[in-house]
Amino acid sequence: MFWRVPVAVGLGYLALSALTFAVYAIDKAAARANRQRTPERTLHVLAVLGGWPGALIAQEWLRHKSVKPAFRAVFWITVAVNVAVFVFLASPYGRSLLAPYVAALA
């Protein structure tokens, strides 16, 4: 029932979330100063790679990208994709597929 996920995965999510939060903060500052903005595509890529918790916190705390419906729709799709891939890779079947690659890194 409980799948063991390596600590490095949690640390990766934490690091990507911190990076994503920082990118949102920089983009919010750029929007206020009327400077060049971070492309939405970049924000979505960071979210789908695992930074979506940081993006969600930034959207709430910074009130950034929190009311634009098209952005929010794509954002929630990136969350769903990331969670689905995470669950698959953490499952016994997914781990068996990853085993040769993990062994090659060790």
Q: pLDDT by residue (tens digit) across 72-104?
A: 999 999 999 999 999 998 888 888 888 888 777
Percent with pLDDT over 70 in the chain: 96
Q: Which two tokens stand for residue 102?
A: 């993990």
Give the domain ranges of the chain: 7-105
Taking the whole predicted model, whether its pTM rises above 0.75 is answered as yes
- Using the predicted structure, report yes or no on whether residue 1 has a pLDDT greater than 60: no
pLDDT at 2: 67
Q: What distance lies between CA 85 and its chain's CA centroid?
A: 12
Q: What are phi and psi of 64, to 5 degrees?
A: -120, 130
User: Average pLDDT over the chain, rounded to whole?
Assistant: 92
Pairwise CA distance, residues 35 & 54, whole Å: 23
Pairwise CA distance, residues 13 & 11, whole Å: 5
Q: Are 73 and 79 in contact (CB under 8 A)?
A: no
